[in-house]
Every structure is written in structure tokens, then in C-alpha cells.
Amino acid sequence: MRSHLPRIEISLSQIRDNTRLLTELYGQKGVSLMGVSKAVLGNPAVAEAMIQGGVKFIADSRIENIQRMKLAGIAAQFVLLRTALSQAESVIESVDISLNTEIETIQKLAYFAKAHQKTHQIILMVELGDLREGILPCDLPQFIRETLTLSHIKIAGIGCNLACYGGVKPDGRNMHKLSKLAAEIEKTFQIRLDIVSGGNSANYDWYQSGQAIGKVNNLRLGESIFLGREIVNRKAIPGLHTHAFQLIAEVIESKKKPSLPVGEICQDAFGNVPKFEDRGICRRAIVALGRQDVLVSGLESSSQIEILGASSDHIILNDPNHRLQVGDEVSFNLDYGALLTAMTSPFIKKQLNR
């Protein structure tokens, strides 16, 4: 039987290995991990591989992904990374812990938690400079005071998210600030915060720097588990697999063509006016994959093959050694953006390898 093209090949054993190494590394200082499944759309087999690798929590930003995993029988504590007011009732039904920053949303969660006779746990996200989600530290005490008046809601902890929107690096200063806030909350309100979630795959350098981790006892990791990298400098983490996902596409044309287009140059299919360098006649190949499927700038092929450009359905490759024939398969490594888009494309088959 021929394999479907294009396809993304997913190595479950490599994801399990990566998760195990990371749970052991972070576990040395008592930091638990949430395996973040959004880049794989909550693929149940991938979630299972992360659980086998040692994570207790599976976190996702989309409730549909969590529902998919639960339906498939995945047993874990499910964490929702992004909570919308309109989804409050489904959150109560499907999620154990949700990340929150708005009191209206938490009130709505409390309302439905009561209706469903459940206690819902929340992590309050604090703004520490990256300017994505977060309660401002100065507003935190009043926020907690109001939250504590709600029944059926338990504050499981606090957290922060850096290096996402503002590109702010997790360091000793912002991590100390988070620890200090946690300590102040515990003291002021006489409550225990089980979870102090310090961030994501960008926290690796801070953790490895040997500074005190304070009260930080959790991280939420996607990219490090899937691609084996930290994300401040996008360096590979020693011992981790960096090719657990491979995107395979089919060559549909292989010809010699000039490197300069012929005729007057206008806008391309995406509204850009392309520029070209004259490299004479080149051996080029086209693969049946395009910008509708994947963030092409996040693809990387072997050293002899260069990606020249792409339109919605075609990627043009420079193939100087003429290795590619019609019908051949070309394999690409992916960065996080390419992984996210390829997993979301309905045209790309997801092939799970043990």
C-alpha cells in the first residue's frame, strides 16, 4: 500500500523520550510539567506519549482539543490555557484547571460549576512584562479577594507567560517576582498555592543557569517536547530528538528553467512584488504542498535542496544536483510555526509511528 502524500510522520517514541528527559531534568528541582498539546491539535496518541513520558497535566489552548482527547479516553488532569467567557459551561464540563485573567469569566465559571456541582480549579495568570495575558501585579490582591468570595472555584495557583508576544526573556528577575507574589498571596490570604507555573519552553536557560527557582514549581512545555528546543535562542536541548516530526511531500515537476522570470514583473499571488537573482539556468523541482498547508518559511530541507519560494499549492525547490524526479518524496524538518500549520491542514495526513 502506498503512503498518503503529503503526510506528516510523527515519532511517538521520540516524543516520549523527549518528555521523559524533560520531566527528569525539571523534576530534579521539583518542577512538574504540563505537556502542551495545541501544536498537535490534541492528537490523543501524542498526548498519551507525553503521559508515558511522565507529565501529569495535559494543557491546550483550545477546548475542542481537550474534548477530543477526553473522548479518546486520555486520562490526565486537563488544563485550558485560554478561557473565553462564552465557553464557561463547556470549560466546567471538560476541563479540570483553567488559566484566567478576568473576574467576569471566573464568575461565570463559578455559576456553571455550582450548576454542575463541581469545584473548578483556576490558575491566575500575572502580567510580568510580555504584555500578553495577565493580571497586573498591583491588581492581584483585590482580584484574589473577589475570587475568594466565589463558591465552587479553587485558586490552584498563579502563573505567567513570557517570550510570546513581547519576546521578554524569563530571567532571575521576573521569576523572582512571580515567586514573591506567590509568597505574598499565601501570607495575606492564608491559602496554599499548589501551582506556581513559571512559563514555557523559553524557561530552559533560566532553569539551567543555576539560580534559585524560588517557589516556581511548574512549567508548560510544547516546543521543547515536540522539537527538542528551548526558544530563547532556539538551541537544541542536549539529549533531545529534534526531528520527531517530518513533513513529506511529492515532487510533481522537475525541470531546468531560468532563474529569472520572463516578462514584466507584477504582484505575486500574495500581493508581494517578488525580486529574483540571476543564477542562470537551474535544475528546479516543484512539490505538491503550499502556503495553504504550511508556513513555508518554517520548513527546512537537506543542505543540497533550497526552498526558492511558494504559492498556495506549490513549493519551488532549487535542486542543483538533480536528485529529484517526478514522483519522489521530499522530506522537511519543521519549526513550531510550520508544525502548527501542517498539523492544522486537512490535506496533510498525520501518520503516527510507534
Residues catalogued as catalytic: 38
By beta-carbon proximity to ligand PLP, the closer residue of 38 and 176 is: 38
If one asks whether residue 81 binds ligand PLP (CB under 6 A), the answer comes out as yes
Phi first, then psi: what are they for 244, rounded to 5°? -70, -20
Q: Looking at this protein, which amino acid is placed at residue 182? A: A
Instruction: Please report how close the Cβ of residue 228 comes to ligand PLP at its closest, in angstroms.
Output: 12
Q: Nine-digit cell at 134?
A: 495577565
User: Which listed range, 219-227, 243-251, 274-282, 341-349, lies at the site for ligand PLP (CB under 6 A)?
Assistant: 219-227
CA distances to 25, 41, 64, 278, 321 from 95, in Å: 27, 16, 11, 56, 53
**DSSP state letters, 224-240:** HHHH-B-SSS-PBPTT-
By beta-carbon proximity to ligand PLP, the closer residue of 43 and 200 is: 200
Q: Any idea what the Cα angle at residue 320 is, between residues 314 and 321, rounded to 5°?
A: 115
User: Which listed range, 7-15, 50-58, 209-217, 223-231, lies at the site for ligand PLP (CB under 6 A)?
Assistant: 223-231
In whole angstroms, what is the distance from residue 179 CA to residue 31 CA?
Answer: 13
**DSSP state letters, 71-134:** HTT--SEEEESS--GGGHHHHHHH-SEEEE--HHHHHHHHHHHHHTT--EEEEEEB--SS-SS-
Number of residues that bind ligand PLP (CB under 6 A): 13
Environment class of 300 (CB within 10 Å of its CB; exposed 0-12, middle 13-18, buried 19+): middle
Q: Nine-digit cell at 150?
A: 466565589
Among 53, 170, 222, 290, binds ligand PLP (CB under 6 A): 222
Interface residues for ligand PLP in 158-197 (CB under 6 A)? 161
By beta-carbon proximity to ligand PLP, the closer residue of 157 and 222 is: 222
Strands (E), 135-178: 153-159
User: Which listed range, 168-176, 220-228, 279-287, 318-326, lies at the site for ligand PLP (CB under 6 A)?
Assistant: 220-228
By beta-carbon proximity to ligand PLP, the closer residue of 65 and 301 is: 65
Among 25, 74, 221, 294, binds ligand PLP (CB under 6 A): 221
Instruction: Please report how close the Cβ of residue 145 comes to ligand PLP at its closest, in angstroms.
Output: 24
Q: Any idea what the Cα angle at residue 328 is, between residues 322 and 329, rounded to 5°?
A: 110
Q: Looking at this protein, which amino acid is placed at residue 172? A: G
Write down the residue that cell numbers 521523559 correspond to: 20
By beta-carbon proximity to ligand PLP, the closer residue of 39 and 287 is: 39
By beta-carbon proximity to ligand PLP, the closer residue of 61 and 254 is: 61
User: Which listed range, 19-27, 182-190, 216-224, 263-271, lies at the site for ligand PLP (CB under 6 A)?
Assistant: 216-224
By beta-carbon proximity to ligand PLP, the closer residue of 43 and 61 is: 61
CA distances to 25, 293, 352 from 344, in Å: 31, 8, 15
Helix/strand/coil for 184: helix
The 33-72 contact track toward ligand PLP, x by CB under 6 A, reads ---x-x----------------------x-----------
User: Which listed range, 145-153, 218-226, 278-286, 289-297, lies at the site for ligand PLP (CB under 6 A)?
Assistant: 218-226
If one asks whether residue 220 binds ligand PLP (CB under 6 A), the answer comes out as yes
Instruction: Please report how close the Cβ of residue 179 comes to ligand PLP at its closest, in angstroms.
Output: 18
If one asks whether residue 200 binds ligand PLP (CB under 6 A), the answer comes out as yes
In whole angstroms, what is the distance from residue 42 CA to residue 76 CA?
Answer: 13
Residue number, nearest CB to ligand PLP: 222
Among 17, 127, 130, 223, binds ligand PLP (CB under 6 A): 223
Binding site for ligand PLP (CB under 6 A): 36, 38, 61, 81, 161, 200-201, 220-224, 231
